[in-house]
Structure 1
Amino acid sequence: MKIIAVIPARYASTRFPAKLMQDLCGKTVILRTYEAAVKTNLFDDVFVVTDSDLIFDEINVHGGKAIRSIKEHESGSDRIAEAVYDMDVDLVINVQGDEPFIDKKPLEELIQVFKHDLDKKIDLGSLMFEITDVAEINNPNNVKVITDQQGFALYFSRSVIPYPREEQAGVRYMKHIGIYAFRKEALLDFYRLPMLSLEASEKLEQLRYLEYGKRIKMVETNHGSIGIDTPEDLEKARKLIS
Protein backbone atom coordinates (compact mmCIF):
# COMPACT_ATOMS: atom_id res chain seq x y z
CA MET A 1 0.00 0.00 0.00
CA LYS A 2 1.52 3.31 -1.09
CA ILE A 3 0.68 6.09 1.37
CA ILE A 4 1.37 9.79 0.90
CA ALA A 5 0.57 12.90 2.92
CA VAL A 6 -0.72 16.01 1.20
CA ILE A 7 -0.95 19.35 2.99
CA PRO A 8 -3.45 21.76 1.36
CA ALA A 9 -2.15 25.27 1.94
CA ARG A 10 -4.45 28.15 1.08
CA TYR A 11 -2.89 31.58 1.56
CA ALA A 12 -6.05 33.63 2.10
CA SER A 13 -7.51 32.40 5.39
CA THR A 14 -10.76 34.09 6.39
CA ARG A 15 -10.10 34.39 10.12
CA PHE A 16 -6.32 34.86 9.98
CA PRO A 17 -5.01 35.96 6.56
CA ALA A 18 -1.54 34.66 5.61
CA LYS A 19 -1.36 32.58 8.79
CA LEU A 20 0.64 29.81 7.13
CA MET A 21 3.46 32.25 6.37
CA GLN A 22 3.61 33.64 9.91
CA ASP A 23 6.84 33.23 11.84
CA LEU A 24 6.77 30.44 14.40
CA CYS A 25 10.06 30.70 16.29
CA GLY A 26 12.30 31.02 13.25
CA LYS A 27 10.28 29.01 10.74
CA THR A 28 6.97 29.62 9.03
CA VAL A 29 3.88 27.72 10.18
CA ILE A 30 3.61 25.82 6.88
CA LEU A 31 7.28 24.80 6.90
CA ARG A 32 7.01 23.49 10.46
CA THR A 33 3.90 21.51 9.49
CA TYR A 34 5.64 20.03 6.45
CA GLU A 35 8.72 19.05 8.45
CA ALA A 36 6.56 17.51 11.20
CA ALA A 37 4.73 15.37 8.62
CA VAL A 38 8.02 14.16 7.13
CA LYS A 39 9.44 13.45 10.58
CA THR A 40 6.68 10.92 11.38
CA ASN A 41 8.23 8.51 8.82
CA LEU A 42 4.73 7.20 8.09
CA PHE A 43 4.56 8.28 4.46
CA ASP A 44 6.18 7.30 1.19
CA ASP A 45 6.12 10.98 0.25
CA VAL A 46 4.87 14.34 1.57
CA PHE A 47 3.66 17.26 -0.57
CA VAL A 48 2.29 20.74 0.02
CA VAL A 49 -0.33 21.75 -2.54
CA THR A 50 -1.03 25.47 -2.69
CA ASP A 51 -2.57 28.36 -4.60
CA SER A 52 0.21 30.68 -3.43
CA ASP A 53 3.56 31.41 -5.04
CA LEU A 54 4.87 32.47 -1.62
CA ILE A 55 4.03 29.13 -0.01
CA PHE A 56 5.22 27.19 -3.07
CA ASP A 57 8.60 28.94 -2.94
CA GLU A 58 8.82 28.61 0.85
CA ILE A 59 8.62 24.82 0.69
CA ASN A 60 10.85 24.40 -2.36
CA VAL A 61 13.61 26.69 -1.13
CA HIS A 62 13.89 24.56 2.03
CA GLY A 63 14.18 21.32 0.07
CA GLY A 64 10.57 20.24 0.34
CA LYS A 65 8.06 19.19 -2.32
CA ALA A 66 5.31 21.60 -3.36
CA ILE A 67 2.65 21.44 -6.05
CA ARG A 68 1.00 24.53 -7.50
CA SER A 69 -2.77 24.28 -7.88
CA ILE A 70 -3.99 24.76 -11.43
CA LYS A 71 -7.58 25.73 -10.59
CA GLU A 72 -9.31 27.63 -7.82
CA HIS A 73 -10.88 25.26 -5.30
CA GLU A 74 -13.72 25.41 -2.77
CA SER A 75 -12.21 22.83 -0.41
CA GLY A 76 -9.02 21.11 0.64
CA SER A 77 -10.28 17.81 -0.77
CA ASP A 78 -10.71 19.37 -4.21
CA ARG A 79 -7.22 20.83 -4.06
CA ILE A 80 -5.70 17.51 -3.03
CA ALA A 81 -7.66 15.53 -5.64
CA GLU A 82 -6.31 17.71 -8.43
CA ALA A 83 -2.77 17.23 -7.15
CA VAL A 84 -2.89 13.42 -6.88
CA TYR A 85 -5.04 12.76 -9.96
CA ASP A 86 -2.22 11.16 -11.95
CA MET A 87 -0.22 9.77 -9.00
CA ASP A 88 0.12 6.04 -8.38
CA VAL A 89 -1.02 5.97 -4.75
CA ASP A 90 -3.46 3.94 -2.66
CA LEU A 91 -4.01 6.09 0.43
CA VAL A 92 -3.84 9.87 0.73
CA ILE A 93 -3.58 11.50 4.15
CA ASN A 94 -4.78 15.09 4.38
CA VAL A 95 -2.71 16.95 6.98
CA GLN A 96 -3.93 20.45 7.84
CA GLY A 97 -1.40 23.17 7.03
CA ASP A 98 -2.08 25.10 10.22
CA GLU A 99 -1.28 22.20 12.58
CA PRO A 100 2.52 22.14 13.08
CA PHE A 101 2.30 19.91 16.19
CA ILE A 102 1.46 16.69 14.40
CA ASP A 103 1.06 13.70 16.68
CA LYS A 104 2.29 10.45 15.12
CA LYS A 105 0.18 8.00 17.15
CA PRO A 106 -3.34 8.92 15.88
CA LEU A 107 -2.02 9.00 12.31
CA GLU A 108 -0.69 5.48 12.77
CA GLU A 109 -4.09 4.37 14.12
CA LEU A 110 -5.83 5.93 11.12
CA ILE A 111 -3.55 4.14 8.65
CA GLN A 112 -4.04 0.80 10.43
CA VAL A 113 -7.80 1.05 9.86
CA PHE A 114 -7.18 0.78 6.12
CA LYS A 115 -4.56 -1.94 6.39
CA HIS A 116 -7.14 -4.10 8.19
CA ASP A 117 -9.98 -3.19 5.80
CA LEU A 118 -9.36 -6.06 3.37
CA ASP A 119 -12.84 -5.83 1.83
CA LYS A 120 -12.41 -2.09 1.19
CA LYS A 121 -15.63 -1.13 2.95
CA ILE A 122 -14.12 2.12 4.21
CA ASP A 123 -13.91 5.05 1.78
CA LEU A 124 -12.19 7.46 4.13
CA GLY A 125 -11.25 7.76 7.77
CA SER A 126 -10.88 10.64 10.18
CA LEU A 127 -10.25 11.44 13.85
CA MET A 128 -12.37 12.58 16.77
CA PHE A 129 -12.00 13.10 20.50
CA GLU A 130 -14.41 13.66 23.36
CA ILE A 131 -15.16 17.16 24.63
CA THR A 132 -17.01 17.86 27.87
CA ASP A 133 -16.79 21.63 28.36
CA VAL A 134 -20.17 23.22 27.61
CA ALA A 135 -18.63 26.24 25.88
CA GLU A 136 -16.58 23.94 23.65
CA ILE A 137 -19.64 21.87 22.80
CA ASN A 138 -21.65 24.96 21.86
CA ASN A 139 -18.85 26.65 19.89
CA PRO A 140 -19.75 26.51 16.16
CA ASN A 141 -16.05 26.56 15.28
CA ASN A 142 -15.82 23.10 16.86
CA VAL A 143 -17.27 20.61 14.40
CA LYS A 144 -19.11 17.77 16.15
CA VAL A 145 -19.65 14.27 14.79
CA ILE A 146 -22.02 11.44 15.67
CA THR A 147 -21.41 7.83 14.66
CA ASP A 148 -23.15 4.48 14.48
CA GLN A 149 -22.19 1.51 16.65
CA GLN A 150 -19.42 0.52 14.21
CA GLY A 151 -17.83 3.95 14.35
CA PHE A 152 -19.02 5.16 10.95
CA ALA A 153 -20.00 8.83 10.75
CA LEU A 154 -23.72 9.58 10.62
CA TYR A 155 -23.44 13.37 10.51
CA PHE A 156 -21.10 16.31 11.15
CA SER A 157 -22.35 19.68 12.33
CA ARG A 158 -21.33 23.02 13.76
CA SER A 159 -24.47 22.76 15.88
CA VAL A 160 -24.74 20.71 19.07
CA ILE A 161 -25.38 17.10 18.05
CA PRO A 162 -27.08 15.28 19.55
CA TYR A 163 -29.38 17.90 21.05
CA PRO A 164 -29.53 17.29 24.85
CA ARG A 165 -33.29 17.17 25.32
CA GLU A 166 -32.68 14.45 27.92
CA GLU A 167 -29.53 15.49 29.76
CA GLN A 168 -29.25 12.20 31.64
CA ALA A 169 -29.09 10.07 28.49
CA GLY A 170 -25.32 9.70 28.81
CA VAL A 171 -24.35 10.84 25.31
CA ARG A 172 -20.77 11.80 24.53
CA TYR A 173 -19.88 14.85 22.45
CA MET A 174 -17.16 14.18 19.92
CA LYS A 175 -15.13 16.90 18.25
CA HIS A 176 -13.96 16.23 14.72
CA ILE A 177 -10.26 16.67 13.97
CA GLY A 178 -9.81 17.67 10.34
CA ILE A 179 -7.23 15.03 9.39
CA TYR A 180 -8.45 12.59 6.76
CA ALA A 181 -7.25 9.41 5.14
CA PHE A 182 -8.77 8.84 1.69
CA ARG A 183 -8.75 5.93 -0.67
CA LYS A 184 -7.69 7.60 -3.90
CA GLU A 185 -10.83 6.53 -5.76
CA ALA A 186 -13.10 8.06 -3.07
CA LEU A 187 -11.16 11.32 -3.27
CA LEU A 188 -11.50 11.46 -7.04
CA ASP A 189 -15.23 10.72 -6.79
CA PHE A 190 -15.54 13.71 -4.45
CA TYR A 191 -13.68 15.85 -7.00
CA ARG A 192 -16.12 14.95 -9.79
CA LEU A 193 -19.34 15.36 -7.79
CA PRO A 194 -21.07 18.73 -7.26
CA MET A 195 -21.64 20.30 -3.87
CA LEU A 196 -25.09 19.61 -2.38
CA SER A 197 -27.22 21.49 0.13
CA LEU A 198 -25.86 20.08 3.41
CA GLU A 199 -22.26 20.90 2.56
CA ALA A 200 -23.29 24.33 1.28
CA SER A 201 -25.24 25.07 4.46
CA GLU A 202 -22.70 23.95 7.06
CA LYS A 203 -19.58 24.71 4.97
CA LEU A 204 -18.20 21.27 5.83
CA GLU A 205 -16.73 19.35 2.91
CA GLN A 206 -17.02 15.97 4.68
CA LEU A 207 -20.79 16.21 4.29
CA ARG A 208 -20.41 15.82 0.52
CA TYR A 209 -19.02 12.33 1.10
CA LEU A 210 -21.97 11.40 3.32
CA GLU A 211 -24.52 12.90 0.95
CA TYR A 212 -23.20 10.68 -1.84
CA GLY A 213 -23.12 7.55 0.31
CA LYS A 214 -19.42 7.31 1.13
CA ARG A 215 -18.49 5.57 4.40
CA ILE A 216 -16.34 7.56 6.83
CA LYS A 217 -14.72 5.52 9.61
CA MET A 218 -14.06 7.63 12.71
CA VAL A 219 -11.13 6.80 14.96
CA GLU A 220 -11.30 8.06 18.53
CA THR A 221 -8.11 9.50 19.93
CA ASN A 222 -7.02 11.16 23.15
CA HIS A 223 -4.74 13.50 21.24
CA GLY A 224 -6.53 16.78 20.53
CA SER A 225 -5.20 18.84 17.65
CA ILE A 226 -3.37 22.12 18.17
CA GLY A 227 -4.30 24.30 15.22
CA ILE A 228 -3.48 27.92 14.46
CA ASP A 229 -6.71 29.69 13.53
CA THR A 230 -6.15 33.09 15.18
CA PRO A 231 -3.26 35.40 16.20
CA GLU A 232 -3.88 34.24 19.77
CA ASP A 233 -3.33 30.62 18.71
CA LEU A 234 -0.03 31.66 17.12
CA GLU A 235 1.13 33.21 20.38
CA LYS A 236 0.23 30.04 22.26
CA ALA A 237 2.19 27.99 19.71
CA ARG A 238 5.24 30.23 20.12
CA LYS A 239 5.13 29.75 23.88
CA LEU A 240 4.77 26.00 23.43
CA ILE A 241 7.89 25.81 21.26
CA SER A 242 9.97 28.15 23.37
Structure 2
Amino acid sequence: MSFIVIIPARYASTRLSAKLLQDIHGKPLLQHTYENAKKSGASQVIIATDDKRIEAVAHEFGATICMTSTKHTSGTARIAEVLTKLDIDDEKVIVNVQGDEPMLAAQVIQQVAQNLIDSKMQMATLCENVVDEAQYLDSNCVKVVFDKFGKALYFSRSPIPAFRNEADFDAALCFKHIGIYAYRSGFIKQYLTMNRSDYEQVEKLEQLTVLNEGFEIHISKACASVGFGVDTQADLDKVREALQ
Protein backbone atom coordinates (compact mmCIF):
# COMPACT_ATOMS: atom_id res chain seq x y z
CA MET A 1 0.00 0.00 0.00
CA SER A 2 1.36 3.39 -1.02
CA PHE A 3 0.04 6.67 0.34
CA ILE A 4 1.13 10.25 1.01
CA VAL A 5 0.45 12.16 4.23
CA ILE A 6 -0.16 15.89 3.92
CA ILE A 7 -0.31 18.00 7.08
CA PRO A 8 -2.01 21.39 6.61
CA ALA A 9 -0.32 23.77 9.06
CA ARG A 10 -1.58 27.29 9.76
CA TYR A 11 0.15 29.66 12.16
CA ALA A 12 -2.98 31.55 13.17
CA SER A 13 -5.24 29.93 15.75
CA THR A 14 -8.11 31.52 17.63
CA ARG A 15 -7.96 29.83 21.03
CA LEU A 16 -4.24 29.17 21.48
CA SER A 17 -1.70 31.48 19.89
CA ALA A 18 0.82 29.82 17.53
CA LYS A 19 -0.28 26.42 18.80
CA LEU A 20 1.67 24.36 16.26
CA LEU A 21 4.91 25.88 17.53
CA GLN A 22 4.15 25.37 21.23
CA ASP A 23 6.86 23.39 23.00
CA ILE A 24 6.15 19.84 24.15
CA HIS A 25 9.17 18.41 25.95
CA GLY A 26 11.74 20.12 23.77
CA LYS A 27 9.99 19.78 20.42
CA PRO A 28 7.34 21.95 18.75
CA LEU A 29 3.88 20.39 18.66
CA LEU A 30 4.02 20.12 14.87
CA GLN A 31 7.19 18.03 15.05
CA HIS A 32 5.44 15.40 17.19
CA THR A 33 2.66 15.15 14.57
CA TYR A 34 5.18 14.95 11.73
CA GLU A 35 7.30 12.26 13.38
CA ASN A 36 4.25 10.07 14.05
CA ALA A 37 3.23 10.43 10.41
CA LYS A 38 6.74 9.42 9.28
CA LYS A 39 6.36 6.16 11.23
CA SER A 40 3.12 5.29 9.39
CA GLY A 41 4.80 3.86 6.31
CA ALA A 42 3.78 6.78 4.09
CA SER A 43 5.91 7.21 0.97
CA GLN A 44 6.02 10.96 1.66
CA VAL A 45 5.02 13.26 4.52
CA ILE A 46 4.53 16.87 3.47
CA ILE A 47 3.77 19.91 5.62
CA ALA A 48 1.61 22.41 3.72
CA THR A 49 1.80 25.93 5.10
CA ASP A 50 1.46 29.56 4.09
CA ASP A 51 3.57 30.91 6.96
CA LYS A 52 7.32 31.55 7.00
CA ARG A 53 7.51 30.91 10.75
CA ILE A 54 6.06 27.43 10.32
CA GLU A 55 8.37 26.86 7.35
CA ALA A 56 11.47 27.87 9.33
CA VAL A 57 10.69 25.61 12.28
CA ALA A 58 9.77 22.67 10.03
CA HIS A 59 13.06 23.05 8.16
CA GLU A 60 14.89 22.81 11.49
CA PHE A 61 13.49 19.33 12.15
CA GLY A 62 14.05 18.18 8.57
CA ALA A 63 10.50 18.17 7.24
CA THR A 64 9.44 18.29 3.60
CA ILE A 65 7.50 21.53 3.13
CA CYS A 66 5.25 22.91 0.41
CA MET A 67 4.45 26.62 0.63
CA THR A 68 0.87 27.49 -0.31
CA SER A 69 -1.37 30.50 -0.81
CA THR A 70 -2.51 32.62 2.14
CA LYS A 71 -6.03 32.74 0.66
CA HIS A 72 -7.18 29.21 1.47
CA THR A 73 -10.17 28.93 3.80
CA SER A 74 -9.76 25.21 4.51
CA GLY A 75 -7.09 22.57 4.89
CA THR A 76 -8.64 20.67 1.98
CA ALA A 77 -8.04 23.58 -0.39
CA ARG A 78 -4.46 23.86 0.87
CA ILE A 79 -3.91 20.16 0.17
CA ALA A 80 -5.35 20.54 -3.33
CA GLU A 81 -2.76 23.21 -4.10
CA VAL A 82 0.01 20.84 -2.98
CA LEU A 83 -1.33 18.11 -5.26
CA THR A 84 -1.31 20.48 -8.22
CA LYS A 85 2.11 21.96 -7.45
CA LEU A 86 3.73 18.55 -7.06
CA ASP A 87 1.77 17.02 -9.96
CA ILE A 88 0.55 14.11 -7.82
CA ASP A 89 -1.38 11.46 -9.76
CA ASP A 90 -5.18 11.50 -9.35
CA GLU A 91 -5.20 7.87 -8.16
CA LYS A 92 -2.71 8.43 -5.35
CA VAL A 93 -4.07 7.86 -1.83
CA ILE A 94 -3.73 10.99 0.30
CA VAL A 95 -4.13 11.08 4.08
CA ASN A 96 -5.00 14.45 5.61
CA VAL A 97 -3.53 14.65 9.12
CA GLN A 98 -4.28 17.74 11.20
CA GLY A 99 -1.14 19.46 12.47
CA ASP A 100 -2.55 19.81 15.98
CA GLU A 101 -2.78 16.03 16.60
CA PRO A 102 0.59 15.27 18.27
CA MET A 103 -0.60 11.98 19.79
CA LEU A 104 -2.12 10.42 16.67
CA ALA A 105 -0.64 6.92 16.45
CA ALA A 106 1.14 5.89 13.25
CA GLN A 107 -0.99 2.75 12.92
CA VAL A 108 -4.15 4.89 12.88
CA ILE A 109 -2.81 6.82 9.89
CA GLN A 110 -2.04 3.55 8.14
CA GLN A 111 -5.48 2.19 9.05
CA VAL A 112 -7.44 4.99 7.39
CA ALA A 113 -5.41 4.66 4.18
CA GLN A 114 -6.00 0.90 4.07
CA ASN A 115 -9.72 1.37 4.77
CA LEU A 116 -10.04 3.66 1.77
CA ILE A 117 -8.46 1.07 -0.50
CA ASP A 118 -10.43 -1.87 0.90
CA SER A 119 -13.84 -0.14 1.01
CA LYS A 120 -13.68 1.37 -2.49
CA MET A 121 -15.60 4.36 -1.13
CA GLN A 122 -14.61 7.91 -2.07
CA MET A 123 -13.38 8.87 1.41
CA ALA A 124 -12.42 7.16 4.66
CA THR A 125 -12.25 8.48 8.20
CA LEU A 126 -12.32 7.17 11.77
CA CYS A 127 -14.19 7.43 15.05
CA GLU A 128 -14.11 6.34 18.68
CA ASN A 129 -16.75 5.99 21.38
CA VAL A 130 -17.62 9.11 23.34
CA VAL A 131 -16.28 8.95 26.86
CA ASP A 132 -19.42 10.16 28.64
CA GLU A 133 -22.72 11.99 28.26
CA ALA A 134 -21.05 15.39 28.64
CA GLN A 135 -18.95 14.75 25.54
CA TYR A 136 -22.00 13.43 23.69
CA LEU A 137 -23.82 16.71 24.40
CA ASP A 138 -20.82 18.95 23.60
CA SER A 139 -21.30 20.81 20.29
CA ASN A 140 -17.51 20.97 19.86
CA CYS A 141 -17.49 17.17 19.66
CA VAL A 142 -18.63 16.03 16.21
CA LYS A 143 -20.69 12.85 16.36
CA VAL A 144 -21.25 10.34 13.57
CA VAL A 145 -23.71 7.54 12.86
CA PHE A 146 -22.96 4.81 10.33
CA ASP A 147 -24.45 1.59 9.00
CA LYS A 148 -23.30 -2.01 9.51
CA PHE A 149 -21.16 -1.81 6.37
CA GLY A 150 -19.13 1.11 7.72
CA LYS A 151 -20.81 3.74 5.55
CA ALA A 152 -21.30 7.09 7.27
CA LEU A 153 -24.93 8.22 7.41
CA TYR A 154 -24.52 11.64 9.04
CA PHE A 155 -22.11 13.79 11.03
CA SER A 156 -23.39 16.38 13.48
CA ARG A 157 -22.47 18.70 16.31
CA SER A 158 -25.83 17.81 17.81
CA PRO A 159 -26.14 14.69 19.97
CA ILE A 160 -26.80 11.76 17.63
CA PRO A 161 -28.29 9.25 17.86
CA ALA A 162 -30.93 10.97 20.01
CA PHE A 163 -32.27 8.94 22.92
CA ARG A 164 -36.02 9.36 23.19
CA ASN A 165 -35.71 8.61 26.89
CA GLU A 166 -32.69 10.49 28.26
CA ALA A 167 -32.21 7.85 30.93
CA ASP A 168 -31.42 5.34 28.17
CA PHE A 169 -28.15 7.08 27.18
CA ASP A 170 -25.55 4.48 26.21
CA ALA A 171 -22.03 5.63 25.28
CA ALA A 172 -21.48 2.35 23.43
CA LEU A 173 -23.91 3.58 20.76
CA CYS A 174 -22.37 7.04 20.40
CA PHE A 175 -19.28 7.82 18.34
CA LYS A 176 -17.00 10.83 18.20
CA HIS A 177 -15.59 11.63 14.77
CA ILE A 178 -11.80 11.77 14.51
CA GLY A 179 -10.67 14.42 12.03
CA ILE A 180 -8.39 12.34 9.82
CA TYR A 181 -9.29 11.65 6.18
CA ALA A 182 -8.09 9.49 3.33
CA TYR A 183 -9.09 10.05 -0.29
CA ARG A 184 -7.73 9.79 -3.79
CA SER A 185 -5.93 12.86 -5.06
CA GLY A 186 -8.47 13.33 -7.84
CA PHE A 187 -11.41 13.27 -5.43
CA ILE A 188 -9.96 16.15 -3.42
CA LYS A 189 -9.91 18.27 -6.57
CA GLN A 190 -13.45 17.12 -7.40
CA TYR A 191 -14.66 18.07 -3.91
CA LEU A 192 -13.53 21.67 -4.42
CA THR A 193 -15.86 21.97 -7.43
CA MET A 194 -18.93 20.96 -5.38
CA ASN A 195 -21.43 23.53 -4.17
CA ARG A 196 -21.32 23.75 -0.38
CA SER A 197 -24.44 22.03 0.93
CA ASP A 198 -26.89 23.68 3.32
CA TYR A 199 -25.93 21.04 5.88
CA GLU A 200 -22.25 21.94 5.66
CA GLN A 201 -23.04 25.60 6.04
CA VAL A 202 -25.13 25.18 9.20
CA GLU A 203 -22.95 22.50 10.85
CA LYS A 204 -19.60 23.83 9.52
CA LEU A 205 -18.56 20.30 8.52
CA GLU A 206 -17.02 19.84 5.06
CA GLN A 207 -17.83 16.13 4.85
CA LEU A 208 -21.57 16.87 4.75
CA THR A 209 -21.21 18.24 1.24
CA VAL A 210 -19.64 14.94 0.20
CA LEU A 211 -22.63 13.00 1.58
CA ASN A 212 -25.09 15.47 0.07
CA GLU A 213 -23.57 14.86 -3.38
CA GLY A 214 -24.23 11.13 -3.01
CA PHE A 215 -20.66 10.01 -2.39
CA GLU A 216 -19.74 7.47 0.29
CA ILE A 217 -17.52 7.91 3.33
CA HIS A 218 -16.16 4.82 5.07
CA ILE A 219 -15.85 4.96 8.84
CA SER A 220 -14.57 2.55 11.46
CA LYS A 221 -13.31 2.70 15.01
CA ALA A 222 -9.66 3.69 15.34
CA CYS A 223 -7.39 0.72 15.95
CA ALA A 224 -5.28 2.59 18.51
CA SER A 225 -5.41 5.63 20.74
CA VAL A 226 -5.64 9.01 19.05
CA GLY A 227 -4.91 10.93 22.24
CA PHE A 228 -5.86 14.60 22.39
CA GLY A 229 -6.00 17.23 19.70
CA VAL A 230 -4.83 20.67 20.80
CA ASP A 231 -7.15 23.68 20.57
CA THR A 232 -6.71 25.31 23.97
CA GLN A 233 -4.11 25.76 26.69
CA ALA A 234 -5.91 23.08 28.71
CA ASP A 235 -5.53 20.65 25.78
CA LEU A 236 -1.83 21.47 25.53
CA ASP A 237 -1.37 20.83 29.25
CA LYS A 238 -3.07 17.42 28.91
CA VAL A 239 -0.81 16.44 26.01
CA ARG A 240 2.31 17.52 27.88
CA GLU A 241 1.28 15.39 30.83
CA ALA A 242 0.37 12.38 28.66
CA LEU A 243 3.68 12.47 26.76
CA GLN A 244 5.92 12.70 29.83
Please report the TM-score for the alignment, with normalisation by the length of structure 2.
0.90
Answer whether contact 2:152 2:217 (CA < 8 A) is retained.
Answer: yes
1:231 CA displacement = 0.6
User: Quick one: distance in 2 between partners of 1:104 and 1:63?
Assistant: 18
User: Quick one: distance in 2 between partners of 1:230 and 1:185?
Assistant: 34
Distance of aligned partners of 1:45 and 1:143 in 2 relative to their CA distance in 1, 3 Å threshold? same
Distance of aligned partners of 1:54 and 1:169 in 2 relative to their CA distance in 1, 3 Å threshold? closer
State the aligned residue count.
238
User: Quick one: distance in 1 between partners of 2:129 and 2:10?
Assistant: 28
Answer whether contact 2:46 2:64 (CA < 8 A) is retained.
Answer: yes
1:169 CA displacement = 8.6
Q: Which residue is 1:110 aligned to?
A: 112
Q: Which residue is 1:204 aligned to?
A: 205
State the one-letter code of the partner of 1:13.
S
Does 2:158 correspond to 1:159?
Answer: yes
1:44 CA displacement = 0.3
Q: Which residue is 2:12 aligned to?
A: 12
1:71 CA displacement = 4.8
1:111 CA displacement = 2.4
1:193 CA displacement = 2.1
User: Quick one: distance in 2 between partners of 1:35 and 1:92?
Assistant: 17
1:55 CA displacement = 0.6
State the one-letter code of the partner of 2:229.
G
User: Quick one: distance in 2 between partners of 1:159 and 1:169?
Assistant: 14
1:1-242 to structure 2, matched below 5 A, reads 2-40=2-40, 42-85=41-84, 86-88=87-89, 90-117=92-119, 120=120, 122-167=121-166, 168=168, 172-221=173-222, 223-242=225-244
Answer whether contact 2:49 2:67 (CA < 8 A) is retained.
Answer: yes
Distance of aligned partners of 1:29 and 1:113 in 2 relative to their CA distance in 1, 3 Å threshold? same
User: Quick one: distance in 2 between partners of 1:113 and 1:146?
Assistant: 17
Listed as ranges, the gaps of 5+ residues in structure 2 are none
User: Quick one: distance in 1 between partners of 2:134 and 2:32?
Assistant: 30
Distance of aligned partners of 1:134 and 1:45 in 2 relative to their CA distance in 1, 3 Å threshold? same
Dislocated runs of 4+, deviation >3 Å:
166-171
State the one-letter code of the partner of 1:232.
A
Distance of aligned partners of 1:30 and 1:169 in 2 relative to their CA distance in 1, 3 Å threshold? closer
Percent of counterpart pairs with the same letter? 38
Listed as ranges, the gaps of 5+ residues in structure 1 are none
